[in-house]
Chains A and B, each alone.
Chain A
Amino acid sequence: MMDLTQRQWVKHAVTHPVEGFEDMRWKKSGSLKIAFFIVFLLFVGQVFDGRLYGFQFGIPYDKTFSIVPYLVKSVVLFAAWVVGNWSVCTLLDGEGTMKNICIYSAYALVPYIVQLFVNVLLSHVLIRDEAVFINVIRIIGVGWTVILLFSAVRSVHQYSPGKTVFAVILTIAAMLIMLFLLVLFMSLVQQIWIFILSVYTEISYRFRV
């Protein structure tokens, strides 16, 4: 029973929001490689969503292009989720390892990514009056991913539904704290860098004269 390949497990987990991840856990299945590939697809999807939308739905600002916001919206956010969830649930008697949290959460993102790609394609076929289709697909994609994420957290840590909600809220708080510290750290490094730079400039001017 349930002798699926790793790829079939993705399909199984995504199409069975309630039991899929439980089955995966029971079979000790899930591949880190596929999880990373999914996160990469998320990144590509975010870039497509930002840059390749049909022009009738808005023209992107293309005087400058920075990859950083897209990285933050995909890879950094996912990493923060995994680390935050792991650190919170370790304290809350969760059973998931970091690896499993990463795999299960990545699998749960599949509907959202599919939604991104489908909408980018649709945006080149539809006009503004028909934007409702795009919106419906987006709502379905996001909703499905939320349900899957909930189910993933529940089965990876073997929580009750109530405790899962609690853990998810704490995870989001942990993510915010982490991002805040990250920004703080970056600005600090920047300040130090500017300080070193100005000292260097000062000294170089002295030596020249």
Chain B
Amino acid sequence: MNKRLKFLPLVLSGLLFLAGMSPAAAYADEPYDVYNYDRWGEAIPSQAGYTAERSISGRDLGAGPMDEPSDLFCDHEGNFYIADTGNDRIIVADNALEKTVRIYDRFIMPDGSETTLSKPAGVFVSEERDWLYIADNQNSRVLVSDMDGNVVLEVGKPESDVYDQQRTFLPQKVIADKAGNIYVVLNNITTGAAMFSPSGDFTGFYGANRVEPTAEIITNYIKNIFRSDEKKASMARNVPSGISGFDIDGDFIFTCSQSVTQTTDTVKKLNAAGKNIFAGLELAFGDYTPMYDTANNKLMKPAIVDIDISDDGSINCLDRTTGRIFQYDEECNLMFIVGTKARQVGGFDTAAAVESYGSRLYVLDSAKDTITEFTETSFGAIVHEATALYNDGYYEEALDPWYEVLKRDGNYRRAYIGVASALLRKGDYKGAMKYAKLADSPKLYDKAFEAYRREFLRKHFGKIAAGILIAAGAVIVLKRRKKHGAAVTETEEKEE
């Protein structure tokens, strides 16, 4: 009896310990199944790279509730700018997203008069000039002001022959490059972003998407040969989808297109000349095999509404259909898939904008009127470290992080490629072959095998050469003996 009683506290404390553990374990879970893609493009379970930390509403910031916010921007000082579209204002929040630093709702024009915003849809802060760029949607203008709210420049509808005057000018998003050129996304223009010089003169369109060569377009092209001009004029024209969001990273502008029917040019990396660097690569963004939405009876095809480039060069693409952020590294290899469509923290209704600061991701939801903050998990940190090292060419330094990644997620294909590349560089060709095979990478296996074969031949050349010589000699001797034997029997026959 005594013995049993002795154990009771121990058992009880053990139970308490377990009870204490379980909320922590539940906390680590995401409100969705974390997955990634293998080499065959099939979804496989994976470890989470990001976890939803909290969701921040306008009240949490002390600015009152937001109404259909549509853009989020983090400036070089770490302040967050939220385009609170429904309330006609721009909220500036501090880096921790705990309090409001300032609210911009009225600006002072150069002539001293006051002006207000009407449904501002996009906001941008230029690092070089410290200017605020606002896509003032319903006022059909882009406002450029300094940080004190004094308007420096007002860009309206361009009076140019290139710009169809029958079309409205409703800016959606705005960015400016280092030189001060202003790029404006307009939701009714499919020929690219409108580009303005630093002084506000319209200079043309930038980075138009290509028309996707679908079967319908090809058949139309053939039919058009036989059609009359009147018929052609009454036909619906094939136009590419417009740009829906962009981000600037150094000299490159990344654009995305939210069209669900278009698969070409959904994400582009444009250089200063407007040339797409991703054009030649066969890249797919978003889900490879879209899920079927039984409630709405349609395929959940990716619609990438916003794009953001992290400090380390990762590309974050926000898919509105599934509420997921697809994070790619600089080389467009998929790293993580974060988020879902849900009511919980970490899920979205109408995801509108994505932004990153350091290792954190922020997603603005224009239906929930909140910003969701994602923090990097320890797994995510290791993957990012390894990827950065790998992409910079430090294969051997990336070896240990990649091993650590594999310890945590044996399905992570990039890690096998990383390990194989590192081992190949180190000269462990046999190991490189093993990991290249596990990575399902024939190209890498080929390189490793070539080196392994060279080494093998060098080491065993003497034996191989000797073997060939002996075999050749044996064959010659045998043949001679056979011939000789035949000749002998022939002569014997003759003698008989």
Contact A127 B40 (CB under 8 A): no
Q: Whole-angstrom distance between the alpha carbons of A55 and B437 in the complex?
A: 7
Task: Pick from A57-65, A161-169, A186-194 the stretch touching chain B.
Answer: A57-65
Contact B442 A58 (CB under 8 A): yes
Contact B40 A63 (CB under 8 A): yes
Known contacts A59-B442, A61-B40, A127 near B437 by CB under 8 Å: no
Which residues of chain A in 29-87 are interfacial with respect to chain B, using CB atoms and an 8 Å cutoff?
54-59, 61, 63
Contact A127 B453 (CB under 8 A): yes
Contact of A127 among B39, B42, B441, B446 (CB under 8 A): B446
Q: Whole-angstrom distance between the alpha carbons of A57 and B440 in the complex?
A: 11
Question: Which residues of chain B are within 8 angstroms of A63 by Cβ–Cβ distance?
Answer: 40, 42
Type the 1/0 row for B416-453, where 1 means its CB is closer than 8 Å to any CB of A: 00000000000000000100110011110110011001
Q: Which of B42, B437, B446, B453 has the most CB of A within 10 A?
A: B446
Contact B449 A127 (CB under 8 A): yes
Q: What residue of chain A has the Cβ atom nearest to residue B439's Cβ?
A: A59
Query: Does residue A11 face the partner (Cβ distance < 8 Å to B)?
Result: no
Q: What residue of chain B has the Cβ atom nearest to residue A124's Cβ?
A: B449
Q: What residue of chain B has the Cβ atom nearest to residue A58's Cβ?
A: B442
Q: Whole-angstrom distance between the alpha carbons of A69 and B60 in the complex?
A: 62
- Closest-CB distance, A31 to chain B (whole angstroms): 27
Contact of B449 among A56, A58, A59 (CB under 8 A): A56
Q: Whole-angstrom distance between the alpha carbons of A55 and B440 in the complex?
A: 9
- Closest-CB distance, B459 to chain A (whole angstroms): 16
Contact of B436 among A55, A57, A61 (CB under 8 A): A55
Question: Which residues of chain B are within 8 angstroms of A58 by Cβ–Cβ distance?
Answer: 442
Question: Which residues of chain A are within 8 angstroms of B453 by Cβ–Cβ distance?
Answer: 125, 127
Q: What residue of chain B has the Cβ atom nearest to residue A62's Cβ?
A: B440
Contact A59 B446 (CB under 8 A): no
- Closest-CB distance, A64 to chain B (whole angstroms): 11
Q: Whole-angstrom distance between the alpha carbons of A13 and B40 in the complex?
A: 45
Contact A128 B446 (CB under 8 A): yes
Q: Whole-angstrom distance between the alpha carbons of A55 and B449 in the complex?
A: 9
- Closest-CB distance, A137 to chain B (whole angstroms): 19
Question: Which residues of chain A are within 8 angstroms of B441 by Cβ–Cβ distance?
Answer: 59
Type the 1/0 row for B35-55, where 1 means its CB is closer than 8 Å to any CB of A: 000011010000000000000
Q: Whole-angstrom distance between the alpha carbons of A59 and B437 in the complex?
A: 8
Q: What residue of chain A has the Cβ atom nearest to residue B448's Cβ?
A: A56
Contact A56 B40 (CB under 8 A): no
Q: What residue of chain B has the Cβ atom nearest to residue A55's Cβ?
A: B445
Q: Whole-angstrom distance between the alpha carbons of A61 and B442 in the complex?
A: 12
Question: Which residues of chain B are within 8 angstroms of A57 by Cβ–Cβ distance?
Answer: 442
Q: Which of B42, B433, B437, B445 has the most CB of A within 10 A?
A: B445
Q: Which of B39, B42, B449 has the most CB of A within 10 A?
A: B449
- Closest-CB distance, B452 to chain A (whole angstroms): 10
Question: Which residues of chain A are within 8 angstroms of B433 by Cβ–Cβ distance?
Answer: 55
Question: Which residues of chain A are within 8 angstroms of B443 by Cβ–Cβ distance?
Answer: 128
Q: Whole-angstrom distance between the alpha carbons of A57 and B445 in the complex?
A: 9
Q: Which of A58, A59, A125 has the most CB of B within 10 A?
A: A59
- Closest-CB distance, B120 to chain A (whole angstroms): 50
Q: Give chain B's interface residue range (CB within 8 Å of chain A).
A: 10 to 19
Q: What residue of chain B has the Cβ atom nearest to residue A130's Cβ?
A: B450
Contact A127 B450 (CB under 8 A): yes
Known contacts A61-B40, A63-B40, A127-B453, A56 near B437 by CB under 8 Å: no
Q: Whole-angstrom distance between the alpha carbons of A127 and B447 in the complex?
A: 8
Q: Whole-angstrom distance between the alpha carbons of A55 and B443 in the complex?
A: 9
Contact B442 A55 (CB under 8 A): yes
Which residues of chain A in 72-130 are interfacial with respect to chain B, using CB atoms and an 8 Å cutoff?
125, 127-129
Q: Whole-angstrom distance between the alpha carbons of A69 and B162 in the complex?
A: 58
Q: Whole-angstrom distance between the alpha carbons of A54 and B441 in the complex?
A: 12
- Closest-CB distance, A56 to chain B (whole angstroms): 4
Q: What residue of chain A has the Cβ atom nearest to residue B446's Cβ?
A: A56
- Closest-CB distance, B115 to chain A (whole angstroms): 62
Question: Which residues of chain A are within 8 angstroms of B445 by Cβ–Cβ distance?
Answer: 55-56, 59
Q: What residue of chain B has the Cβ atom nearest to residue A127's Cβ?
A: B450
Q: What residue of chain B has the Cβ atom nearest to residue A53's Cβ?
A: B442
Question: Which residues of chain A are within 8 angstroms of B446 by Cβ–Cβ distance?
Answer: 56, 127-128
Q: Which of A56, A63, A128 has the most CB of B within 10 A?
A: A56
Q: What residue of chain A has the Cβ atom nearest to residue B42's Cβ?
A: A63
Question: Which residues of chain B are within 8 angstroms of A61 by Cβ–Cβ distance?
Answer: 40
Contact B440 A59 (CB under 8 A): yes
Question: Which residues of chain B are within 8 angstroms of A55 by Cβ–Cβ distance?
Answer: 433, 436-437, 442, 445, 449
Q: Which of A55, A58, A127 has the most CB of B within 10 A?
A: A55
Q: What residue of chain B has the Cβ atom nearest to residue A56's Cβ?
A: B446
Q: Which of A125, A127, A129 has the most CB of B within 10 A?
A: A127
Question: Which residues of chain B are within 8 angstroms of A128 by Cβ–Cβ distance?
Answer: 442-443, 446
- Closest-CB distance, A130 to chain B (whole angstroms): 9
Q: Whole-angstrom distance between the alpha carbons of A177 and B30 in the complex?
A: 55
Q: Whole-angstrom distance between the alpha carbons of A55 and B438 in the complex?
A: 11
Type the 1/0 row for A7-19, where 1 means its CB is closer than 8 Å to any CB of B: 0000000000000
Question: Which residues of chain B are within 8 angstroms of A127 by Cβ–Cβ distance?
Answer: 446, 449-450, 453
Question: Which residues of chain A are within 8 angstroms of B442 by Cβ–Cβ distance?
Answer: 55-59, 128
- Closest-CB distance, B437 to chain A (whole angstroms): 5
Which residues of chain A in 134-173 are interfacial with respect to chain B, using CB atoms and an 8 Å cutoff?
none
Question: Which residues of chain A are within 8 angstroms of B436 by Cβ–Cβ distance?
Answer: 55
Question: Which residues of chain B are within 8 angstroms of A129 by Cβ–Cβ distance?
Answer: 450
Q: Whole-angstrom distance between the alpha carbons of A8 and B458 in the complex?
A: 41
Q: Whole-angstrom distance between the alpha carbons of A63 and B40 in the complex?
A: 10
- Closest-CB distance, B434 to chain A (whole angstroms): 10
Type the 1/0 row for A189-208, where 1 means its CB is closer than 8 Å to any CB of B: 00000000000000000000
Q: Whole-angstrom distance between the alpha carbons of A134 and B322 in the complex?
A: 46
Task: Name the 5 nearest CB pairs between A and B, nearest first.
Answer: A56-B446, A127-B450, A55-B445, A128-B446, A59-B440
**Contacts beyond the supplied A127-B446, A129-B450: 11 A-B pairs with Cβ under 8 Å:** A55-B445, A56-B449, A57-B442, A59-B441, A59-B442, A59-B445, A63-B42, A127-B449, A127-B450, A127-B453, A128-B446
* 21 A-B residue pairs with CB within 8 Å: A54-B449, A55-B437, A55-B442, A55-B449, A56-B442, A56-B445, A56-B449, A57-B442, A58-B442, A59-B39, A59-B437, A61-B40, A63-B40, A63-B42, A125-B453, A127-B449, A127-B450, A127-B453, A128-B442, A128-B446, A129-B450
